[in-house]
Amino acid sequence: MTSTMSEETSTLREAGDPLANWPYPPPGGWTADDLDRLPQEGPHGEPDFFKHVELVDGALIFTSPQKRFHDVMIRRLASSFEDQVPDHLAVATQMDVVLGPRQRPCPDVLLIDAALDQEHDRTSYTPGEVHLIVEVVSPESEFRDREVKPGRYAEAGIPNFWRVEAENGKPVLYIYELDPATHLYVPTGIYHDKISLQTPFPIDLDLGGLLR
């Protein structure tokens, strides 16, 4: 039996199946390319098992069910962007960004090159195609969104990063811009209400109104 199992596992690995030794990672660890080969079902037939998964520092991260705040903020922030975005930019939601071989996060909202808007077969973008990343923080993602992902996005050269958090049931927006000399994000403002910004494009937002 052990020999048969080993032969089957070896065949799966040779075929490029990233789940050949699930739940253990493939030899060498998970890579960004593996996520394009994950099936719709889990190892034991669980539906949508890999629907919400991202790769951070070589580890697969499975997101838990989200609160209503998370869903509303993503949809309405994206809608506000759509209403005001200039012609050279487009809006995407919950699309992967391949930052490197071991980094493939899935941000909540992105601004991408407008030329990519009609590439409907895309499963991910590269850092050079992304102008802004927005993460809406949930309880299970708090550490990653505050401490881990911003550093990875900055290292990859993504020029703008926003973080949205809920405080007493109301959204608070934290804005960062990339310092090209240090490849670190510099905080440029904390906002609680109506704001007007010029970066990454001229936009007016009513943060409280996004929940109404």
- Give the range among 50-64, 102-116, 121-135, 143-157 with minimum mean pLDDT: 50-64
Residue 184 φ then ψ, to 5°: -125, 150
Task: Specify the residue for token string 């998970």.
Answer: 30
Contacts 24+ apart (CB under 8 A), 153-157: 153/97, 153/99, 153/105, 153/127, 153/185, 154/178, 154/183, 154/184, 154/185, 155/99, 155/183, 156/97, 156/99, 156/100, 156/103, 156/127, 157/127, 157/128, 157/183
- Tell me the one-letter amino acid at 7: E
Q: How many residues does the chain have?
A: 212
pTM of the model: 0.85
For residue 16, the model assigns a pLDDT of 61
- Please say whether the beta carbons of 64 and 140 come within 8 A: yes
Range 157-177 average pLDDT: 97
Distance CA 212, CA 197 (A): 21
Distance CA 113, CA 160 (A): 14
For residue 193, the model assigns a pLDDT of 94
Range 132-141 average pLDDT: 95
Range 88-101 average pLDDT: 97
Range 116-135 average pLDDT: 97
And the tokens for 135? 């993460």
Distance CA 7, CA 206 (A): 59
Distance CA 167, CA 165 (A): 6
